[in-house]
Structure 1
Amino acid sequence: MPKIPKENILSAALGLYNNGFTYVQDTRRKHESDIFQIDLLALKVICFGGEDAAQTFYDTDKFARKGAVPPPVQKTLTGENAIHTKDGEAHHNRKEMFMSLMTEENIKRLTERVQIELYKALHKWEDAESVVLFHEARVILCKAVCAWAGVPLTDEEAPYIARDFTLMVDAFGAVGPRNWRGQRARKRTERWMNGIIKKVRQLKLVPERGSALYLTANHKDVDGNVLDIPMATVELLNILRPTVAIAWYVTFSAHAFTTYTDSRLKFLMNVSDYREWFVHEVRRFYPFAPVMGARVKHEFDWHGYRFPKNSLVLLDMYGTNHDPRLWDSPQEFIPERFSNRQIKPFDFLAQGGGDPHQGHRCPGEWITIEVLKTFMGFLVEKVAFDVPQQDLSYDSSRMPTLPNSGFVMSCVSRKMVSSASAVKARR
């Protein structure tokens, strides 16, 4: 039986610090292997990637999520004991609640709310010398998703709640001050949401039946017990926070329009469903989630390599999305690659792999796709703006990362006639 190639803890720490998103992929290449191991004292961390690795990783008979999400991540990003840490019937029970929101009608309602907030924001942008798209996007998305979910939120509260949501996301790959800021943001947000759930339980607030607030406040676990208030709060935040996090993809989409200039006109015209291809390529190409973790349930062999019970295993999501065996010219931004490509469960891991109804693939993936199409469609159809000189580079060693400027727009104005209509008229 072959031995798994090894990396010592110092080289792994240095590699992560210097390379961030590409560390696992770079190390796999160095060993000419899809798998390697990091020895952390008594703990063995196995890293692997590729389509076959992803299919194995999402096999619930082999892997469990319990014990795989580090406490610092639970205290900032996901919340403690959330759906991300559940397995088996408990996971399926929570997943059904999330998936019940992912209907075509519900997603359309959300995108309509996003458009409403975009029009409101545009009125403000026209009076400003410049705006930072990332900051604007997070507030727009926060207001839209809260209205959609039935969560009361005032215009005065929105910037602070939106900021705290993004601080929680920004903390997931950090230690020290960034993580501490994320923890403080989560505590503030949980206090706010606890109060709202309490009002629902006390019948002081009656959300619309079927809304995210209604479902989480009334959800029963596998034993038939209503989730306690802290747990209901955690799961409701796990609906709101990821939607606000689409602000990262919005900013990267604007970066793509500026860097790959033909993509903006193609998106505007949307020939042969280009918008869908563009959104997929943004999620594949740009860095957001580097790895996903799980624990080995019982010892098994994979391509001759032994996976010991309870080992922590990291799946290389970024590397799989840039695997030359799966993607032609993976380091190039080519939305057209999706024109004749059927997305399979384990080759495109922008938001996890497998079946979203049964496994741990993100249930909000459809929301991400439709909200991005709506948001970027509004920017190209309804808004004229300049892109002043700024630092649009991003640090791939930082997790998560973002264009350094946040994407500044200046001289923003409303288009009187959509560019798409004008182009068609000239034809």
Structure 2
Amino acid sequence: MHQIPKENILAGGLGLIKEGFPFIMNRRNKFKSDIFKMSIPGFHVICFGGEDAARTFYDAEKFIRKGAVPPPIQKTLTGEQAIHTKDAQEHHHRKAMFMSLLTDSNIDKLQDLVREELEKAVLVWQSIPRIVLFRESAEILSKAICRWAGVPASDEQAVHAARSFVSMVDAFGSLGSRNFRGRKARKDMEQWISRLINDVRSGKLDGDRQSALYVCAHYRDMKGNLLDLKMAAIELLNILRPTVAIAWYVTFAALALEHYPDCKPKMEQEDDQYILQFINEVRRFYPFAPFMGAIVKKDFQWHQYRFGKGSLVLLDMYGTNHDARLWDHPFTFNPDRFNHRLIRPFDFLAQGGGDPRNGHRCPGELITVQTLRTFLVFLTRDVNYQVPQQDLSYSLARMPTLPHSGFIMENVLPK
């Protein structure tokens, strides 16, 4: 049995704060090992990364999610006791609710709504000198997903919801004011959606029976019971919030167009295959999710290292997406790497690993890809714009991160 390399508590705690996304990857390089352990206040943690580590991490016989999502994240990002904390049959049963909504026709319907909101937005943008793409895309996505989900919301309510969803995501990995704003935003959103679900159940609000609002309101657990109002609201928010979070990817995609201008003509020529390659490279290259946590279900060995029952384990998602054994020149932005490259379930971890139908990979991944395609077609084929001088740098120490300016665009005009 091999001894797992160990990082000392000071270097571990401070390193995570100072380094952020590449923290686990940097320690794997330091120890020349795909695995190490460390202590941080309140936790003894095993960290590992790479394709085989991901394959192991998503093995339901070895890991569970219950107890792995820290309370501060549940109280801001995911919601308490949401699907992210479920395992085995309970997880499969609840996930089936989400998958029932993510049909090809429903995803197409959402893209139609996103395009409608983009077309309305550009009529406003052409009359003002500049816009901030991150803020505008979050509001567009909020309006579209509320309409798609059957959530009755005025434009003003959808804009308020967008700001709340951004605060909830921005609270990830934070303390202090960011965390406080995220908690308040979640509380406000849970109360709003709970009232709507109550109205659906009482018959006061008559909506589309195929809508996400109706499905979440009437979902029954494995015992045949309706979810309580708060939990039903939490799961509906786990459809709305991640869709608005695509604004992070939209902003990084625009940044890539600016930094790598040779990519743009290929998308202007209606090369849909290249657009998909570009989208996958944006999702691989830019920082979105640093790591994922799980709890060891029972003792097991991995590469002659012991994983003890109850241990908290973090999978290095950012580092796996930048692993030189999987990706040639991993810190070079190159959409052509996805030309005819087969993406395996555990080598590309933009939104988790494994099978989204029955595992813990994000079920909304296809929505992310299609929504990015909608925005990129719009940016490259439908409008002209200028990018003024601004601070487009971003900090890997901040989780989540974003170009400091939010990506300012000037003189946005329809072609």
Q: TM-score w.r.t. structure 2 length? A: 0.99
Checking the alignment, whether the CA contact within 8 Å between 2:49 and 2:317 is kept in structure 1 is yes
Superposed displacement of residue 42, structure 1 = 7.0
Aligned to 1:243: 243
Superposed displacement of residue 158, structure 1 = 1.8
Whether 2:160 is the aligned partner of 1:166: answer no
When residues 151 and 304 of structure 1 are mapped into structure 2, their CA distance, relative to the original with a 3 A threshold, is: same
Structure 1 distance, partners of 2:84, 2:34, is 25
Aligned to 2:92: 92
Structure 2 distance, partners of 1:310, 1:5, is 19
Checking the alignment, whether the CA contact within 8 Å between 2:12 and 2:39 is kept in structure 1 is no
The C-alpha deviation readout for 1:21-57, integer Å capped at 9, x for no partner, is: 0010000000000000012467420000000000000
Whether 2:147 is the aligned partner of 1:147: answer yes
The C-alpha deviation readout for 1:103-136, integer Å capped at 9, x for no partner, is: 1101000000000000110011011110000000
The C-alpha deviation readout for 1:59-117, integer Å capped at 9, x for no partner, is: 00000000000000000000000000000111011100011111110100000000000
Aligned to 2:114: 114
Aligned to 1:21: 21
- The answer to which of 297-306 and 265-274 deviates more is 265-274
Aligned to 1:222: 222
Checking the alignment, whether the CA contact within 8 Å between 2:384 and 2:414 is kept in structure 1 is yes
Aligned to 1:322: 322
SS at match of 1:100: helix
Checking the alignment, whether the CA contact within 8 Å between 2:13 and 2:40 is kept in structure 1 is no
Structure 1 distance, partners of 2:164, 2:229, is 20
Aligned to 2:50: 50
Aligned to 1:425: none
Aligned to 1:358: 358
Structure 2 distance, partners of 1:8, 1:291, is 20
Give the letter aligned to residue 414 of structure 2: R
SS at match of 1:77: helix
Structure 1 distance, partners of 2:287, 2:270, is 25
Q: Which runs of 5+ in 2 are unaligned?
A: none
Whether 2:227 is the aligned partner of 1:210: answer no
Aligned to 1:194: 194
Give the letter aligned to residue 273 of structure 1: Q
Structure 1 distance, partners of 2:210, 2:278, is 32
SS at match of 1:273: helix
Structure 1 distance, partners of 2:272, 2:177, is 46
Give the letter aligned to residue 114 of structure 2: V
The C-alpha deviation readout for 1:169-202, integer Å capped at 9, x for no partner, is: 0001111111111001101111111111111011
Give the letter aligned to residue 223 of structure 2: D
SS at match of 1:331: coil
Structure 1 distance, partners of 2:106, 2:42, is 47
SS at match of 1:156: helix
Give the letter aligned to residue 409 of structure 1: M
Superposed displacement of residue 271, structure 1 = 2.9
When residues 42 and 409 of structure 1 are mapped into structure 2, their CA distance, relative to the original with a 3 A threshold, is: closer
Aligned to 1:267: 267
SS at match of 2:22: helix
Give the letter aligned to residue 263 of structure 1: C
Aligned to 1:420: none
Structure 1 distance, partners of 2:103, 2:332, is 33
Aligned residue pairs, count? 415
